[in-house]
Amino acid sequence: MRSVISKSGAVAASMRVARETAVVGAVVGLAMTLAGTTTAASATGNSVQTPAGSACRTHNPPGGGSITVCRTWTSDGRGAYNGTWRITAQSGEAFAQARLDGPIATLFTTSGTFTHVKSFVTRGCNTGCTDWS
């Protein structure tokens, strides 16, 4: 079963994305591989999030084709991010998948949103898949 993120379907932490396994392990730490988004320690030792950013990634999966996924994000002020994603280029039979705090979804539409997500990374797939980035 593949998960689907649609333009109208905002992904929220409170909403569980359908997934192949019933339980997903621990959420990947704040590895916001969203083009290097990181946290920084303040003088008081509290964690401060990067407020906003954007990135595009072109994936060239095994089996041919390519797909470019762009995303924007802003801090929601609660330790996570809200943002948008869009597929800006696609060739061959390549398709994109996203991993949002663990669950994996195939991006069947050309754009969408995410809400209160700590980690959002993508990969390109065809006969195989690229690494997450």
In a domain? residue 113? yes
Q: Could you tell me which residues come within 8 angstroms of residue 8 by beta carbon, excluding any fewer than 6 positions away?
A: none
What is the mean pLDDT of the segment spanning 108-124?
Answer: 95
φ and ψ at 48, to 5 degrees? -120, 130
pLDDT at 65 over 50: yes
Report the predicted TM-score, pTM, of the whole model to 2 decimal places: 0.63
pLDDT digits (tens, 9 = 90+) for 1-57: 333 443 333 333 222 232 222 222 222 222 333 333 333 322 223 344 556 999 999
CA-wise closest residue to 31 among 121, 106, 103 = 121
Q: In what order do the strands lie in the sheet with 95-100?
A: 104-106, 95-100, 120-125
In a domain? residue 81? yes
Cα–Cα distance list, 29 to 42, 59, 79, 108 (Å): 19, 23, 11, 26
* The predicted structure's pLDDT at residue 63: 97
In a domain? residue 20? no
Q: Which two tokens stand for residue 30?
A: 């704040």
In a domain? residue 93? yes
pLDDT digits (tens, 9 = 90+) for 72-113: 999 999 999 999 999 999 999 999 999 999 999 999 999 999
In a domain? residue 89? yes
Rounded CA gap, 128 and 95, in Å? Answer: 10
Total domain count, the chain: 1
In a domain? residue 34? no
Better-scored residue on pLDDT, 25 or 66? 66
Q: DSSP class of residue 61?
A: -
Indicate if the alpha-carbon torsion angle 99, 100, 105, 111 is positive or negative: negative
Domain that holds residue 76: 39-125
In a domain? residue 90? yes
